[in-house]
Amino acid sequence: MGDGGEKLAWTITMPPAQAASGVVRVVMSGALGPAAHARLRETLRIALLTALSPEPAALGVTLTAVTSCDGVLAAELQELAITCARENVALRIDVTPALLPWLGSRELAPCLHLADAPVASASDVAVVPTWIDRATLVIALTGELDLETTARTRDAIAVILAARPRRLVLDLTGVSFLASTGVNEIVRLAHAAADDAVVLHVAAGRHNRRTFELLGLTGTLLRVFDTRADALVAFGG
């Protein structure tokens, strides 16, 4: 179904009538833009009424297949969270990292569950995103960044960066081995960040910082710090 080129698909799954408790689940996919607002509100209203009848149950909202959204989704979910808390209905919202800039509010935080964190794991590397605020993203890599894992790491980071943060910390303090292919990928990321007006800081750890220093990359293309905390503080206010 769609209006003006936008598509919104949803289903509401109710628990068995004989169950003492269960989960009412709403699964949404597609673009949740202006043309979908009315249907979004109606879907959440019906789901809440279903969860309250005949007695409070649990309500789950799955947004992992949502391709885009706006502030209305956050506002509707915040209102839903307040009502669920008042009516003693457990609420769980499954999201992807790309939606966190819109949904990462204090009111929704207890209800949010990342459906794909870590976003990617290769044989020896994992990629885990953490939003500090609506504009600041930390991407932590752990393991070995070598020829085999760099390509898969690149794909995972590309998915995360679709959320378009304004400030980015690449946390390499958990990387135990940094090959030349990994360094080249970080240089490529730095150029891409500059093109997109994203401020990039690298938390390398002392063991990896030496590599960047020997290659002459610190202070020019890359701003490199020993810790994640130092990299975040350097953004200033």
Centroid of chain to Cα 225: 24
Positions of the chain with pLDDT under 50 = 1-8, 10-12, 14-20, 117-123
Concatenated DSSP letters for 7-46? EEEEEEEPPPTT-SS-EEEEEEEEE-SGGGHHHHHHHHHH
User: In whole angstroms, what is the distance from residue 175 CA to residue 159 CA?
Assistant: 20
Tens digits of residue pLDDT in 126-154: 777 788 887 888 888 888 888 878 877 88
- Domains of the chain (ranges; CATH) run 2-114 (3.30.750.24), 120-233 (3.30.750.24)
Supply the pTM of this predicted model. 0.54
